[in-house]
Amino acid sequence: MSPEILATAFLLGIMGSFHCIGMCGPIALSLPLQGNSYFQKLLGGVLYNLGRAVMYGIIGGAFGLIGQGFHLLGFQRWVSIIMGIILILSILFPIIFSGHKIIKLDFFVTPVRKAIQKLFTSQSYSGLFFIGTLNSLLPCGLVYVAVASAVTLGSAYYGMIYMFLFGLGTLPMMVGVVIIGNLISLSVRKRINYIIPYLVVIIGVIFILRGLCLGIPYVSPPLEKLTPTAHMKIHNPKNAATEIKGSCCAKD
């Protein structure tokens, strides 16, 4: 996976953290921190957000595994194109990620929220970590964007790394919220949130270009880089070196 793809994950997390302040800020501001010292607040904030990043990584690994199945079937380029189109459409048609409940998830969300409320009474550092893991399971349009990107990578490992980096990108701003409250005014956050749709469209375009296999270095690799030839012929030791060289795992 190219460094550019990994960079989009971290950048999406950084830009998305301004969105997270509005969505997850109330939880972060009311965390049951251990003590009032700067170090205690910092440790509690890091544990909470590290829990979020770890669960994002697990989610990314699961959806990356789905993408890996498509990759082995030879559908990876079409998955990349379709997911890119979905990302762009999610911006062009905001109702997809609006507050309207197209699919009711109360059967899942309600138990998660109750578990978070229970952990708020634990008064422990481990509780803070698990509050973060559970919080990452709550519905969030920005997380859906990252998950869609993870599917296109065609690898459980890379999907996990992508989503974990996305979570780490949100960490600085969210830890700051835990320590000193709302760092940035609402008006500034709104202005920065205007940038997020453009970033999502850029990511969508990147994945469409990746699926088109135009031979553009780092952005749109040639078709042989996206085909699972090595997986299909690796049983023949004589062909191993040649097949690996032409596979998606080979370095240029």
Average pLDDT over every residue of 130-152: 89
* Cα 65 off chain centre by: 14
What is the pLDDT at residue 27? 78
- Residue 18 pLDDT greater than 80, yes or no: no
Highest average pLDDT, of 38-42, 60-64, 172-176, comes from 60-64
**Degrees (nearest 5) of the Cα angle 199, 48, 99?**
45
What is the pLDDT at residue 132? 92
How far apart are the C-alpha atoms of 212 and 152, rounded to whole Å? Answer: 13
Asked if residue 31 lies in contact with residue 123, where contact means CB atoms within 8 angstroms, the answer is: no
pLDDT band at 159 (very low <50, low <70, confident <90, very high): very high
* Cα 235 off chain centre by: 35
What is the pLDDT at residue 250? 46
- Which residues neighbour 194 within 8 Å (Cβ) at sequence distance 6 or greater? none
Asked if residue 29 lies in contact with residue 178, where contact means CB atoms within 8 angstroms, the answer is: yes
What is the pLDDT at residue 24? 74
- Which residues neighbour 89 within 8 Å (Cβ) at sequence distance 6 or greater? 96
When comparing pLDDT for 132 and 221, which is higher? Answer: 132
Own/partner pairs, 173-177, CB within 8 angstroms, 24+ separation: 173/14, 173/17, 173/18, 173/20, 173/21, 174/17, 174/20, 174/21, 174/24, 174/28, 174/45, 174/48, 174/49, 174/52, 175/42, 175/45, 175/46, 175/49, 177/21, 177/25, 177/28, 177/29, 177/45
When comparing pLDDT for 122 and 57, which is higher? Answer: 57
Delimit the domains of the chain by residue range: 3-216, 222-252
Q: What is the pTM of this model?
A: 0.73
The whole-chain average pLDDT of the chain stands at 78
Which of 4-18, 193-207, 222-236 is predicted least confidently?
222-236
- Residue 233 pLDDT greater than 70, yes or no: no
- Residue 237 pLDDT greater than 50, yes or no: no
What sign does the dihedral 152-154-159-162 (CA atoms) show?
negative
Which of 16-30, 81-95, 154-168 is predicted least confidently?
16-30
pLDDT tens-digit series, residues 88-115: 887 877 655 555 454 556 778 889 999 9
Average pLDDT over every residue of 214-219: 70
What is the pLDDT at residue 57? 96
- Which residues neighbour 156 within 8 Å (Cβ) at sequence distance 6 or greater? 61, 62, 64, 65, 68
